[in-house]
């Protein structure tokens, strides 16, 4: 890959990542609103899973997004928007500071709702782009 093309890819991922990180911080801050349970991270991860499922589903099923759009939206934006490391830390803090039940509920909800959201995004892509 030529250097100019590689730099363009990096710029797209960086732009998507910056926007995704800002969106994550903004949305999680609004949703969290002094709850003990990390609902802000949960909402962000579920929405990020929905977005990723939609973009990659539409791309793989219908060629709906260009390579550059996938880099911007999936790799950059969704990659920075979702918060796995924060999810892991918050799971540990729930376990240590509150209870195993809180931690298990958070982990279970995050995984099941995230998986459901990816599936829903993939299915929505099929509905939107179906010929």
Q: Where are the domains of the chain?
A: 3-129
Q: What pLDDT is recorded for position 85?
A: 87
The gap between the terminal CA atoms of the chain, to the nearest Å, is 33
- Give residue-wise pLDDT tens across range 78-125: 999 998 888 999 999 999 999 999 999 999 999 999 999 999 999 999
Mean pLDDT for 24-32 is 97
Q: What pLDDT is recorded for position 119?
A: 97
d(CA 33, CA 36): 9
Tokens describing residue 44: 């962000």
- Give residue-wise pLDDT tens across range 42-76: 999 999 999 999 999 999 999 999 999 999 999 99
DSSP 75: I
Cα 50 to chain centroid, rounded: 7
Give the pTM.
0.86
DSSP 34: T
Tokens describing residue 11: 């710029």
d(CA 91, CA 121): 25
Residue 11 confidence (pLDDT) above 80: yes
Mean pLDDT for 3-16 is 97
């Amino acid at each position: 890959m030529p250097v100019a093309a590689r730099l363009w890819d990096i710029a797209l991922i960086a732009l998507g990542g910056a926007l995704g990180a800002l969106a994550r911080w903004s949305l999680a801050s609004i949703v969290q609103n002094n709850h003990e349970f990390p609902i802000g991270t949960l909402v962000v991860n579920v929405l990020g899973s929905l977005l990723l499922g939609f973009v990659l589903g539409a791309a793989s099923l219908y060629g709906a997004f260009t390579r550059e759009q996938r880099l911007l939206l999936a790799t950059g934006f969704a990659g920075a928007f979702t918060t796995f490391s924060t999810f892991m830390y918050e799971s540990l803090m729930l376990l240590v500071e509150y209870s195993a039940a809180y931690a298990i509920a958070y982990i279970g909800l995050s995984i099941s709702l995230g998986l459901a959201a990816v599936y829903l995004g993939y299915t929505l892509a099929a509905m939107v782009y179906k010929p």
